[in-house]
Structure 1
């Protein structure tokens, strides 16, 4: 037994000598830290310019056509170029006099979020949100029909998705993942509740009924779309004919640049905090 302990001690001593001779183990290699990209100084948080505009940033939540929060949306925050924010503030002042407020669903959208949409669209097995957002469109048609693309004007900072809310308005209840889904073109009292006015479809409805001037949309629904459109057009916005909620302020501050900074206060220049 003593001989075994002696042998064990000798082995430990030998190991210690080897360790001392070899010196300390090399430090594990760490990848270089890459700071998140920052927004140019021309970008602002909309609430700093037009604090009364409501914000319901859908891609920060799981209530969207993907069914999960989207890459790059670190905060439920509307970021746009400063001239876009000022134009929205003017439109808001006009609408408040008539008893309405604007509500934005999406503003600046980083390229990483668009890439997330593309990956989702290529996964034909993931159709968990189909019953609400694209009931009448096959998922393998989303690229061909123009609902999903590899670039988005939102990434340039002058495009917003928005609607009207009649004042006073109760808040919209939160979406509960897994709850039964209703078609986005169903009557307003049947689809997911939204405190916005009735425009004939919900936001991000992949359906021809969402075309701004679709002839099937009549009466109050058409009047609501036209009020939104004419109010924004007076402030230099152009509507995308396929989406009643989609508007771009012209001329764009960055007409050819697709940004990828995260949607976060930390992305903005310090003087805009």
Structure 2
């Protein structure tokens, strides 16, 4: 008798599964969306640079070193040198870290730029809040440096300072150097040669397409919109001796 009861339960279970195919599909879709790989965000064919690591298993708020995920960017991290408006080195060593969600958006934007034979070059990325305090001590002016008590989106891992360069390493003319504080650096300044306006337009429109937004007074600064609510951080990256 028990044998027939087991068979009957099995038949009922099979029927139930067949009657709910949508639930099975939903479960499969749910599992598929849990796979958080860079190649699900950027199709492989549109990603010309080499990807070293996957984002799988990493929360969107995790800090990552961008160079560990792509060799397709260029770097001139000014605050690790004295070639900046502070005239002082405030980073112990030059590294570009962001949160995972910012890194994903940057990879997508860079793949887009590369179809136009240019790539992103970084001046600054994530900035520890302790460095923000150093900068404030040197230039305690909110017009140029965010108050470290409130922090900036750089301190949240959601902002980058960038320009564009050709794939051969020649910077596009943006009209001013990085951290030039004056109207010539404003996005709404149209009193510039057409080549400069076109270069800024390419930078701005492509970054905005991938979820970043600009500020009016700095052509180089971009914030990832979804990062604005993240917490100010003081994570410090290691430096090789």
TM-score (norm 2): 0.69
Residue deviations 1:208-243 (CA, integer Å, cap 9, x gap): 211112122340001000100111111111111111
- After TM superposition, the structure 1 = structure 2 runs for residues 29-178 of structure 1, keeping only pairs within 5 Å, are 42-70=62-90, 73-122=91-140, 142-143=141-142, 146-150=143-147, 151-169=151-169
Q: Runs of 4 or more off by more than 4 Å in structure 1?
A: none
CA deviation after TM superposition for structure 1 residue 47, in Å: 1.1
Q: Does 1:207 align with 2:182?
A: yes
What SS class does the counterpart of residue 44 from structure 1 fall into? Answer: strand
Change (3 A) 1:238 1:265: farther
2:236 to 262, 268, 272: 262
Question: What is the RMSD computed on CA atoms of the aligned residues?
Answer: 1.9
Larger relative contact order (Cα-Cα within 8 Å, sequence gap ≥ 6): 1
TM-score (norm 1): 0.61
CA deviation after TM superposition for structure 1 residue 41, in Å: 6.4
The answer as to whether partners of 1:238 and 1:248 remain within 8 angstroms in 2 is: yes
Change (3 A) 1:62 1:88: same
Q: Which has the larger radius of gyration?
A: 1
**Counterparts of 1:263 and 1:200, CA distance in 2:** 32
**Counterparts of 1:41 and 1:247, CA distance in 2:** 18
**Counterparts of 2:191 and 2:238, CA distance in 1:** 39
CA deviation after TM superposition for structure 1 residue 74, in Å: 2.7
The answer as to whether partners of 1:74 and 1:263 remain within 8 angstroms in 2 is: no
**Counterparts of 2:115 and 2:239, CA distance in 1:** 30
Residue deviations 1:173-221 (CA, integer Å, cap 9, x gap): xxxxxxxxxxxxxxxxxxxxxx411011000111121111212234000
Gaps of 5+ in 1: 1-39, 123-141, 170-194, 267-273
Gaps of 5+ in 2: 1-59
Question: Alignment length, in residue pairs?
Answer: 178
What SS class does the counterpart of residue 259 from structure 1 fall into? Answer: coil
Q: Relative to total residues, which structure has the larger helix share, 1 or 2?
A: 2
CA deviation after TM superposition for structure 1 residue 55, in Å: 1.3
